[in-house]
Structures are given as structure tokens and as C-alpha cells.
Amino acid sequence: MQSTHSPDGTDIVYERHGDGQPLLLLHGGMAPRDYWTPVIPHFDEYAAVVPQRPGFGTCLDDASETGPGEVLDREARYVRELAAAVDGDPILLGHSFGALTAVEAATDADVAAVLAYEPAVLPEDYRRMADLSARMQSLLDEGKRREAVKRYIEQVLHPDGIDDLDAWLSAWPVWPGCVDLAEEVVRMNRAVEQYRLPDRLAAEAPVLVMSGTDGPDFLRESARAVHDALPHSRLVEFDGVSHSGPSEAPALVAAEVEAFLRS
């Protein structure tokens, strides 16, 4: 792990893999840094930078006290500081909440491009009814950590259901880490439930917005809405790929990313 300090004294901790233009990999609200392990080999021409994000380690001791209205600002500020600390103008690749963070961070950071897979934005009708964070918190209050995170899996990763979810989770390498992050998942879900997509996003860098046809319909709808709100963006849908697109189909996503960056 490497580290640097922001002007306000915050420790910015990250892993760096390889050489080349920095590619900052921002994981979603549930997955730990290990989410990017199958993705990194597909970007061997870049220096993959995987930060220890606030709330997912020791880089912010007060992360648990951050209110939902501050979570996204905290994350975007952290990414901006990291982008300024690496050599050259980096590319931001974010998944889910990390994708939303990347788009928000790019409104006030020197970045070459943003690659956003299914940004965690809720359509307005869906947002008004969203209560996932409250249901997860109730389970946490009862000491049911695994059940709390399973609710997230069922609603976001497998909204159409899955045969033998427990067996699927047992075979999922990052599952134990996801359970450990239950409180942070609740905080981020609250932030998502409060976030309202503006008519126009101020990111001036080119943005590739990506989505999968096998993920939740509301996230596909939101991906299109984010694309429409950006001044310079391209929208791509991957057939047969779920919300876990970057780690589920890294070669497919990487090929589309490379084509976008070359253009």
C-alpha cells in the first residue's frame, strides 16, 4: 500500500499496480477493493490505482459519523485529492456508487476521462419509495449482519431471484468482506436514496456510461438518465451482463473501454 496526505491532513491510502497512465478504480458501495482483482489484468497498459476509500478501512476514523448528505461529497473530495496526487491526468473507472463518485469528482478535477458502470442513481419515482437502507438497518439492529447484506444482494445484484442464494454467496470470493462492510453499505444506500440527479452534470471530461441488460431495470434507466445529463458522453449496454459487469465480464468491459479511450 502507498499513501499520501490531502491538504486537510486526511491519509489517502491506495494500491498501485503497473506503470502507465493512472487508472483509478472506484468500487461500489458494497464490494471491497478485491472487487477489482479480476479486472486489473485487462488494463495492463495502465497504472491501476485502487484506493482504500473512506469508511472501508482506516483512512477516515470518523467515517461512521458521516451523515448521508455528506457521504457523496466526502467520497468525491477524496477522489479529487487522489487524482491530484498521481502523476498525469488520470482516468476514473467506477462501479455503482463508485461510478456516481467518479462523475461527481470529475466536476472539479483534472481527469482525462470517466468510465461509469451503472452509477448508483435512483429514478425519481423509485427513489421516493426506496427503503433498502432502513430495512438493512433494522436487520443490523437485530444483529443479523449477513441477512442485512443479503437484502442488498437480492435487490441490487439479483432482483429477479436466484436459485440457492446461500450457495452462490458461499462461492463468491468477496462475500465475507461484504458482510464486514454492512454499516458502510447502509450509509451509502441512505446517500443514494437522498441523491437527486440534476438536469445537467458539470463533468467536462468525456464519459463512457455503461450498463448491463441483466441488471436491475431501474439502474439501466438511471444509466440513460446520467448519460442524458452529461455534456460529453457515450452510452453502452452489454447484453447478458448484470450489475456486476466489470468483475463479471472484465474482458468485454475492457474492450469497450479501450475503444472509447482510443476515440
Range in 105-109, 155-159, 190-194, 224-228 with the lowest mean pLDDT? 155-159
pLDDT in tens, 189-221: 898 999 999 999 999 899 999 999 998 899 999
155 within a domain of the structure (yes/no): no
211 within a domain of the structure (yes/no): yes
160 within a domain of the structure (yes/no): no
Q: What is the spatial distance between Cα 186 and Cα 135, in angstroms, rounded to a whole number? A: 9
Name the band, by pLDDT with cuts 50, 70 and 90, for residue 98. very high
177 within a domain of the structure (yes/no): no
162 within a domain of the structure (yes/no): no
The backbone region for 80, taken as left when phi is positive above 0, alpha when psi lies in -120 to 50, beta otherwise, is: alpha
The H-assigned helical ranges of 86-215 are 97-105, 124-129, 132-141, 145-152, 165-170, 175-180, 182-194
Do 245 and 214 form a contact (C-beta atoms < 8 A)? no
CATH of the domain at 41: 3.40.50.1820
pLDDT reported for residue 1: 62
172 within a domain of the structure (yes/no): no
pTM for the whole thing?
0.88
**Of the ranges 7-16, 69-78, 132-141, the best mean pLDDT one:** 132-141
Helix (H) or strand (E) holding 159: none
Q: Which residue would you say has higher pLDDT here, 255 or 51?
A: 255
Enclosing domain of residue 255: 2-122+197-262
Q: What angle do CA 156, 158, 177 make, to 5 degrees?
A: 70
Do 175 and 35 form a contact (C-beta atoms < 8 A)? no
103 within a domain of the structure (yes/no): yes
pLDDT reported for residue 75: 87
The number of distinct structural domains making up the chain is: 1
182 within a domain of the structure (yes/no): no
Q: What is the DSSP letter of 251?
A: H
